[in-house]
Amino acid sequence: MEFNDLKVETPVFLAPMAGVSDYPYRQLIREMGVELLYTEMVSAKGYEYGNRRTSELITFSEKPQAKIAVQIFGEDPKFMAQAAAGIVEEYGADLIDINMGCPARKIVKNGAGSALMKNLNLAAEVIEAVVDSAKVPVTVKMRSGWDQKNINAVELAKVAAEAGAAAVAVHGRTRNQFYKGEADWEIIKAVVAAVEIPVIGNGDIFSAAAAKAIFEQTKCQGIMIGRAAQGYPWIFKEVIQYLKTGKIIDSPAAYQKIEMAIRHLKLAVNYYGERHGVPIMRKHISWYLKGLANASEMKNKVNQLTKADELIELLQKYQKNLRN
């Protein structure tokens, strides 16, 4: 897959997810074979105003082993353009992705995220401004529309292509659906047919078989995996292997999931420090525990601990029991 002059051999990506696709987790995802790593979404105004948290979201050291895409959000073309240019210059991002799909109320109330799907003229201005300033490929992530009465991903994709976007990613749900119901892959198929730039399909890709199915059904050129990757980084290895060889590789054993959780915890604490790293990891550990023996009891214990060494000791004891 090509984003203008940026080439990716295996077009399987981790969707940008706030509180999930951070630097510690991206390190694990890279090891699963993902070449282009998307950051969490970054506020354009936050970047321009020098917000410390914004810097934390962007910072990475995966290069040169991987290519980096920084996703930005905002509704002001000027701020978006300035942030894109600054991020590329300061951090060396390989690609800038514009968020026009986030359904969160605090984002859309200011006219950003999926709210831009209701104003295609402003969306065009934002994309054009970012493309002109970024000097790297620019992509746009969107939903199928605002609600069932306003399905306009095809129109926005055409606007994005006309404005110079190198690709678009389409989540087959409306903003009002959030993450409920089933993703509509037919809208992704319609976008593929409507534009000449590459289209990345997103929504309900929970297995290697589903990954192959969305490629076949929509003819999209790439896919983005979101919730299926929470607590399960192996999804990427499984998908990539299946797409290349048609073979399903063995899923990790229960003790291996906890082994990964411990490693993830250590990476997070090393990056954020214990005070912030441990609370951040609680939800991740809960995802790693999903479906395992005594998961509820373990989650309760995990949520009561604040020290990394105590949490690691708890997980190691649990892991040992899983092996026996």
- List 66, 84, 102, 140, catalytic entry: 102
Residues 6+ apart with CB under 8 A from 149: none
For residue 319 the two structure tokens come to 């892991």
3-state helix, strand, coil in the chain (%, to 5): 50, 15, 35
199-202/95-100 β-pairing? unpaired
User: Is 11 known as a binding-site position?
Assistant: no
DSSP, residue by residue, 201-260: EES---SHHHHHHHHHHH--SEEEE-GGGTT-THHHHHHHHHHHHS-PPPPPPHHHHHHH
143 annotated among ligand-binding-site residues: no
Closest CA to 208 of 169, 237, 171: 237
Tokens at 146, concatenated: 């605002």
Neighbouring-strand partners of residue 167: 139
> E strands, 79-164, where?
95-100, 138-145
- Name the DSSP letter for residue 151: B
* 141 is annotated as contributing to ligand binding: yes
Question: Is 71 annotated among the ligand-binding residues?
Answer: yes
Tell me whether residue 18 is annotated as binding. Answer: yes
Cβ proximity of 153 and 186 under 8 Å: no
> Structure tokens of 127?
């994309």
Q: Residue 263 annotated as binding?
A: no
**220: annotated active-site residue:** no
Q: Do the annotations mark residue 171 as ligand-binding?
A: yes
Please check whether residue 227 is in contact with residue 179, taking contact to mean a CB–CB distance below 8 angstroms: yes
78 is in an annotated binding site: no
Query: What does each C-alpha distance from 150 to 24, 60, 193, 200 come to in angstroms?
Result: 37, 37, 19, 21
Annotated binding residues? 16-18, 71, 141, 171, 226-227
Active centre residues (catalytic): 102
Binding site listing for FMN: 16-18, 71, 141, 171, 226-227
